[in-house]
Chain A
């Protein structure tokens, strides 16, 4: 085999090895940093990607998460795949003016979260609690969420199919409420 062919053959193997390494460790890290819905609390925020510091917020919320869940993950609404139901999110933060469009995918707000601020009520049912007051420019987790990306007040809701709220039929625990309480403590 000529020298050129040997070098080409060696370089091909090195490139293939690098690709294989990337695949293996990508798989391993994904395995460690993701979990099925029953083992994690997911928070969706109705912002663009740049208006949400999702990793920092996830990390901050994990500090107070109960032992029944492995992790907390925060994503913008755009993270959801086409056709994926937003009702599967455990917690949802969105502007008040958007909430009416998602009511059929929301669960009534658990009792233990109703004391944290003004409530969002529709048809006699309490669905959300305010997390951002646009008039006073105050709220929680403002250093992680850019509430100015949409005008008006913002509210926290619970997804209809969440596995981590007490009222759900196949509820695993009430971890979503614990994470929400942690959220209210963030600046």
Chain B
């Protein structure tokens, strides 16, 4: 079976998150220090220019941090916490035919995911799969064997029947 989650991913992911956090802190402190240095040289002639420069420097630093947080850090953190939770659970085996694979959707505070409808002997089962890990997932109509934990697909294998 193709495992979708691995314990070996945790450490690099955690390092990456910590590094980004520190980068953001350093950037914020550097921007603050730069603005303080700008203000140290303020006088009646340059006060408007200093005011504008300090605002621009602080704004740009904040925007970089906001963009980094929104586009990378929070999604990466959500992925990390999701993987950590999944890896703690005991997986359950399922078999069936992929009935439907939905378009990706986002749950606030969680990861991007896709819904999988699996037709089994006991009826249809609704499962979820991480969008990031669904690249090679079989298309509808293919028979598969799955491992699931907390309703998420953690491994899959195409059954050749």
Name the CB-closest residue of B to A2: B106
B contacts with A, residue count (CB < 8 A): 20
A135 within 8 A of partner (CB): no
Q: Which of A24, A29, A58, A62 contacts B58 (CB 8 A)?
A: A24
Q: Does B59 contact A (CB under 8 A)?
A: yes
CB distance from A48 to the nearest CB of B (A): 20
Determine which of A28, A55, A59 lies in contact with B39 in the assembled complex, contact meaning CB atoms within 8 Å. Answer: A28
Q: Cα distance A55–B35 when bound, in Å?
A: 22
Given contacts A10-B70, A18-B59, contact A73 B44 (CB under 8 A): yes
Q: Of A24, A29, A55, A71, which contacts B50 at CB under 8 A?
A: A29
User: Given the complex, which residues of B lie within 8 Å of A28, measured CB to CB?
Assistant: 35, 39, 54
Supposing A33-B42, A73-B44 touch, asked if A25 and B67 sit within 8 A by C-beta, the answer is: no
Closest-by-CB residue of A relative to B54 is A25
A79 part of interface (Cβ distance < 8 Å):
no
User: With A13-B66, A14-B66, A25-B58 as given contacts, are A56 and B45 in contact (CB-CB < 8 Å)?
Assistant: yes
| Cα distance, A10 to B62, chains bound together (Å) | 12
0 or 1 for each of B29-57: is its CB under 8 Å from A? (1 = yes):
00000010001001111010011001100
Which of B54, B70, B106 is close to A29, meaning CB atoms less than 8 Å apart? B54
Which residue of chain A has the shortest Cβ distance to B106 in the bound complex? A1
| Chain B positions 80 through 116: 1 when the CB is less than 8 Å from some CB of chain A, otherwise 0 | 0000000000000000000000000010100000000
Given A22-B55, A26-B51, A32-B39, decide whether A59 and B45 contact each other with a Cβ distance below 8 A. yes
- Dominant secondary structure at the B interface: helix
Q: Are A33 and B67 touching (Cβ within 8 A)? A: no
- With CB as the reference atom, state the residue of chain B lying closest to A26: B51
Cα(A22)–Cα(B35), bound, Å: 12
Q: A10-B67, A14-B66 are in contact. Are A29 and B51 (CB under 8 A)?
A: yes
Chain B contacts for A73, CB-based, 8 A: 44
Q: Name B44's contact: one of A1, A22, A25, A55 (CB within 8 Å).
A: A55
CB-defined interface of A58-71 with B at 8 Å, one 1/0 digit per residue? 11001000000001
- Give the complex CA separation of A58 and B44 in angstroms: 7
A134 within 8 A of B: no
What separation, in Å, do the CA atoms of A25 and B59 have in the docked complex? 10
Query: A121 at interface (Cβ–Cβ under 8 A)?
Result: no
* Given A1-B106, A29-B50, 8 additional A-B pairs, CB 8 A: A10-B67, A17-B66, A18-B55, A24-B58, A28-B35, A33-B47, A55-B44, A59-B45
**The 10 residue pairs across chains A and B that have the minimum distance between CB atoms:** A25-B54, A21-B58, A17-B62, A21-B59, A18-B59, A58-B44, A29-B51, A33-B47, A22-B55, A25-B55
A-B contact pairs, 8 of them (CB 8 A): A10-B66, A10-B67, A14-B63, A26-B55, A29-B51, A32-B39, A33-B44, A73-B44
